[in-house]
Every structure is written in structure tokens, then in C-alpha cells.
């Protein structure tokens, strides 16, 4: 006889389990479950295996796929030292022309970083200053499409190039991108230098002037003070000695080319209270103030430079200061940044800076205020919006911060990154003779001064003869071009 009690209990457990599973299932399924039951036979030591089939409900696990829309925010890290522009839809080639000195070399490299953008090629062409300016004149005066999309110009080119319509007004672009590129960081005075009748023709990228650079240890040893006037400069030169074998010369400014003569004359002319033109564009530079200015230049050259000094150019001045063969010079702030470069000189600790000397004790300093600009030709064949953004990527805050290591920038926020010459440069600009008048006729004046003033150094003309010849040549051309009625 089988043990019925144990068998019935097992059946009951299976049925109860089946109901429990069914109650838990979301969608129960009826299946056949086969269980093996072990029973004992009374009085015998044997085991019988019996199989019982019971219908139960099997729990079915239902998998529900839930699709949830999730907004993923991806952080994009922008490298401020790179050109961060979207790629143009089609291939674009932009050409820049300008002239080379340390900070413009830096900006040219910044422009060419935009070559890493797909479909964009930027070519920076840097020449000597006179050559670059002549190329711009030849290209834009002929009319037709401009071969250049970005043109480097300084204060003296604003009136000459923008004043005759060669350059594009940028007011709309300045307004459009003012916040993005923080253009209010550039002082209003810098913008004024490239503005004619309310139209802005360029982006200020460089601040500049000419000021004194000298050897502090030499001046201390000789008991010399920083010269306040050019008469003081002459006295210092007499103390050092023009024939002193320790030095190339006691002091120099640049008279090595016609354009260099013109700049020195313009500064000295304004310092004596004169100017190039009157309100009717007629010449006034050949009057008393002009003669005084030329005589002072010649007096300084004779006492401080000698005949060899007339051919001593900017590069010569810079290298001589760095090598320690020139105790003083009046030269560009854009070159002063190199005076503390340990790769160029071991004298950075003893090279000092002062403001430009005055022509007279009560007059302004004989130092002009300069800015350099990137401008866009009016007849470019490329998108001005893209060109402007390329310019701004090269002259944004981070770019100017790095540029401050090699020259004088225009943004107020990066002044702390500049060199020790900045105080002298700033004082020269604040107390100096200002900028060129922004009128087209100025270009003619500068060309004629560059033609005739070098004849003073060779002795071919007297000061009055050279100035009168320049005035006559200017009047003829200005009249032919309609600037003199």
C-alpha cells in the first residue's frame, strides 16, 4: 500500500504554487509541468518512482521596451589661440598685404592659423613698408577687382587710401561683432585714427610711436639725465663723443630712406608748431617752422651720427642697441619689445626707456601717435563678413595678449602683458604731436618730402631749397588731382 498522505500533500502544494504564479504573471500561460514523485512501499525497503502530470499556469516575464528622449548637452572646448570659424560652404582664398616688423609678423601668423579651417586659405604677404604701400597704390588705383582682401595700413595711409574710396566702411560689421569680440576694449582714440566723416575704415591692431631707448648704466656712469629736449640730446652726444671708439655713434634716429626722413621731419615740424597744409590744402611746411625743423634734424645728425649715421637704418639701430655698440636711439616702440629678449641681447637689464625729446622746452614731444590697422578694400571679391571675422580671430583678446610680448597692442585689457617700454611710449603719445591729418592730399605731401629731404643729407640742397622744391612739386600734383582749387 502506497503512502497516500504524502502523495496528496505534494499534489496540493503543486496546485497552490500554480495559482500563486498565475496571480503574479502579467499575461499567464498554461503549460504542463512534469514532476517526479518519490514514494515508499510499506514493509519493504524499495523505492518506486512515479510521475504525475499537473496543469499549472507558468509565470511569463513580460519585457517592455521604454524609449525615452534625453537631451544630451556636449561641452565644446574652444582653444582661444586658434582660428575658431565655421568652414565656408565653398573654397575661399583670402590675400593680405602688409609690411614686416615683429608684431605684424605675429599677426600674419595668426591670420594664417585660419588655414586649418576647411575650405579657407589665407595668404599673408609681408614686404618692406615702402614696397607694400606701393603695391597697394598700384593695385587699387587701377580700379577693377582687388587682388587683396586685407590691407595693412597706418595713420598716414587712412586719408590717402580710405579718403579716395579704396577702402570699405566697416561700421555695420563693427556693430555686428562688437560684443562677440569685445571691440569696446579698443580705445575710442584708436578708432578715431581710422575714421573719416563717421565712417570706420579699419580695425586697430597696433599702437606705436617713436621714443628714446638708452643704456641706463652708461648714462649713470657719465652722470647724464634722460634728455628732455633735442638740445639735451646734442649735449649728451658731445659728452659721449662722436669719435669715441667704444660706440658706433652716441645717438641716432632714422634718416636712411626718404620715408624715414619724412617721418622725422613731420614730428619735428609739428613740435615747432608747424603743419603740412592749410585748410585749402596749400603747403605751409616750407615756412619758418619747417626750416627750423630741418635745421634741428641736421644739427642732431652732425653732433650725434656723423656721415655714417645717415645710412644707419632701423635694423642697424636695433642690433647695435642689442649688441651694446649704441648707447641711445630714438626709435619705434614696436622695436623696443626686442630689447628684453634674451635670445637677442644680454643687456636687457641695463636698457632703459624714456619719452621722445621735445624740439623746444615748452613744446610737445617730437613723437607722433601711430596705429596700424587691417582694412578691407572696397572692391574685394570675397565676403566682407568672412574677411572681418578672419581679422578679428587674428586680433581678438587672446591674440593681442600674446602680441603684447613683441609690440604695443591696442586693447586695454592686455596692457599688463606688455614690456617695460610701455610707460615711455604712452607718455610720448599723450604729450606728443598727434597723428597725420586724414585727408587724401597728405599722401602727396609725404611722397614729395621723401623725394627732396634726403638731398639735405647729401648737401645737394639747403633746407629752404629742399622745402620749396617739395612745395612746388606737391602743388602741381595736388592741383592736377583736384585737391587745390
Model pLDDT for residues 394-445, shown as the tens digit of each residue: 999 999 999 998 999 999 999 889 899 999 999 999 999 999 999 999 999 9
* pTM of the model as a whole: 0.77
- Does the pLDDT at position 39 exceed 90? no
pLDDT value, residue 63: 54
DSSP assignment of 231-290 equals HHHHHHHHHH-TT-TTSS-S-B---SSHHHHHHHHHHHHHHTT--SB-TTS-B-TTSHHH
- Integer Cα distance of 82 and 430 in angstroms: 34
Q: Give percent helix, percent strand, percent coil of the chain, each to the nearest 5.
A: 45, 20, 40
pLDDT value, residue 15: 40
Alpha carbon separation from 81 to 191, 221, 373, 426 (Å, rounded)? 24, 45, 21, 27
Segments making up each domain of the chain, as ranges? 4-58, 92-208+371-419, 210-367+439-480
- Integer Cα distance of 355 and 13 in angstroms: 107
More confident residue, 265 or 30: 265
pLDDT by residue (tens digit) across 341-354? 999 999 999 999 99
Q: Answer for the pair 284, 277: CB distance below 8 angstroms, yes or no.
A: yes
- Integer Cα distance of 213 and 230 in angstroms: 14
Lowest mean pLDDT among 4-13, 108-117, 350-359: 4-13
pLDDT value, residue 65: 57
Lowest mean pLDDT among 11-15, 87-91, 186-190, 248-252: 11-15
- Integer Cα distance of 424 and 352 in angstroms: 10
Pairing of β 120-127 and β 92-99: parallel
Which of the four pLDDT bands, split at 50, 70 and 90, describes residue 31? very low
pLDDT value, residue 200: 98
Pick the CATH number of 92-208+371-419 from 3.40.190.10, 3.20.20.70, 3.40.50.11740, 1.10.3720.10: 3.40.190.10
- Does the pLDDT at position 391 exceed 80? yes
More confident residue, 56 or 446: 446
- Integer Cα distance of 331 and 166 in angstroms: 31
More confident residue, 9 or 377: 377
pLDDT value, residue 415: 84
Pick the CATH number of 210-367+439-480 from 1.10.3720.10, 3.30.310.50, 3.40.190.10, 3.40.50.300: 3.40.190.10
Count of positions (residues) in the chain = 485
pLDDT by residue (tens digit) across 194-224? 999 999 999 999 999 999 999 999 999 999 9
3-state secondary structure of 67: coil
152 strand-pairing partners: 374
Q: Which of 175, 93, 151, 140 is nearest to 386 (CA)?
A: 93
Region 239-262 average pLDDT = 97
- Integer Cα distance of 414 and 210 in angstroms: 21
pLDDT value, residue 416: 86
pLDDT value, residue 86: 95
Q: Answer for the pair 469, 286: CB distance below 8 angstroms, yes or no.
A: no
pLDDT by residue (tens digit) across 262-317? 999 999 999 999 999 999 999 999 999 999 999 999 999 999 999 999 999 999 99
Which of the four pLDDT bands, split at 50, 70 and 90, describes residue 61? low
Region 242-251 average pLDDT = 97
Residue carrying the nine cell digits 597706418: 154
Q: Which of 394, 424, 428, 427 is nearest to 411 (CA)?
A: 394
* Helix H or strand E encompassing 370: strand 370-375
* Helix H or strand E encompassing 109: helix 102-112
More confident residue, 481 or 47: 481
- Integer Cα distance of 13 and 22 in angstroms: 14
Same fold, 92-208+371-419 and 210-367+439-480: yes
What percent of the chain shows pLDDT beyond 70? Answer: 84
Which of the four pLDDT bands, split at 50, 70 and 90, describes residue 13? very low
Q: What is the dihedral of CA 424, 425, 426, 429, to 10 degrees?
A: 120
Amino acid at each position: 500500500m502506497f503512502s497516500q498522505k504524502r502523495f496528496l500533500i505534494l499534489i496540493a502544494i503543486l496546485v497552490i504554487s500554480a495559482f500563486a504564479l498565475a496571480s503574479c504573471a502579467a499575461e499567464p500561460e498554461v503549460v504542463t509541468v512534469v514532476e517526479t514523485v518519490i514514494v515508499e512501499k510499506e514493509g519493504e525497503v524499495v523505492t518506486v518512482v512515479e510521475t504525475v502530470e499537473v496543469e499549472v499556469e507558468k509565470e511569463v516575464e513580460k519585457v517592455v521596451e521604454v524609449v525615452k528622449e534625453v537631451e544630451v548637452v556636449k561641452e565644446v572646448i574652444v582653444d582661444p589661440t586658434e582660428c575658431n570659424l565655421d568652414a565656408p560652404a565653398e573654397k575661399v582664398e583670402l590675400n593680405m598685404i602688409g609690411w614686416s616688423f615683429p608684431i605684424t609678423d605675429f599677426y600674419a601668423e595668426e591670420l594664417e592659423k585660419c588655414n586649418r579651417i576647411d575650405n579657407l586659405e589665407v595668404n599673408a604677404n609681408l614686404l618692406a613698408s615702402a614696397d607694400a604701400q606701393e603695391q597697394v597704390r598700384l593695385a587699387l588705383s587701377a580700379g577693377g577687382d582687388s587682388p587683396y582682401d586685407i590691407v595693412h595700413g597706418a595713420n598716414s595711409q587712412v586719408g590717402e587710401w580710405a579718403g579716395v574710396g579704396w577702402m570699405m566702411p566697416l561700421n555695420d560689421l563693427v556693430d555686428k561683432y562688437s560684443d562677440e569680440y569685445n571691440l569696446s576694449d579698443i580705445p575710442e582714440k584708436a578708432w578715431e585714427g581710422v575714421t573719416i566723416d563717421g565712417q570706420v575704415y579699419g580695425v586697430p591692431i597696433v599702437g606705436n610711436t617713436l621714443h628714446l631707448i638708452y643704456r641706463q648704466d652708461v648714462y649713470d656712469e657719465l652722470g647724464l639725465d634722460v634728455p628732455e629736449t633735442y638740445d639735451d640730446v646734442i649735449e649728451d652726444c658731445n659728452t659721449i663723443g662722436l669719435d669715441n671708439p667704444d660706440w658706433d655713434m652716441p645717438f641716432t634716429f632714422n634718416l636712411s630712406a626718404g620715408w624715414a626722413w619724412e617721418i622725422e621731419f613731420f614730428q619735428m615740424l609739428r613740435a615747432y608748431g608747424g603743419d603740412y597744409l592749410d585748410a585749402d590744402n596749400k603747403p605751409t611746411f616750407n615756412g619758418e617752422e619747417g626750416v627750423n625743423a630741418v635745421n634741428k634734424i641736421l644739427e642732431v645728425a652732425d653732433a650725434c651720427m656723423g656721415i655714417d649715421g645717415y645710412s644707419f637704418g632701423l635694423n642697424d639701430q636695433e642690433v647695435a642697441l642689442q649688441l651694446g655698440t649704441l648707447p641711445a636711439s630714438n626709435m619705434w616702440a614696436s622695436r623696443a619689445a626686442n630689447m628684453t629678449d634674451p635670445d637677442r641681447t644680454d643687456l636687457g637689464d641695463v636698457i632703459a626707456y624714456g619719452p621722445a625729446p621735445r624740439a623746444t622746452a615748452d613744446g610737445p614731444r617730437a613723437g607722433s601717435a601711430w596705429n596700424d590697422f587691417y582694412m578691407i578694400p572696397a572692391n574685394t571679391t570675397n565676403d566682407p563678413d568672412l574677411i572681418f571675422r578672419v581679422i578679428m580671430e587674428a586680433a581678438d583678446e587672446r591674440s593681442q595678449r600674446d602680441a603684447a610680448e613683441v609690440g604695443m597692442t591696442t586693447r586695454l585689457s592686455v596692457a599688463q602683458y606688455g614690456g617695460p617700454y610701455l610707460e615711455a611710449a604712452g607718455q610720448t603719445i599723450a604729450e606728443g604731436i598727434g597723428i597725420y591729418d586724414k585727408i587724401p592730399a597728405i599722401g602727396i605731401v609725404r611722397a614729395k618730402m621723401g623725394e627732396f629731404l634726403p638731398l639735405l643729407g647729401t648737401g645737394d640742397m639747403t633746407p629752404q631749397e629742399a622745402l620749396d622744391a617739395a612745395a612746388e612739386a606737391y602743388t602741381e600734383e595736388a592741383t592736377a588731382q583736384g585737391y587745390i582749387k
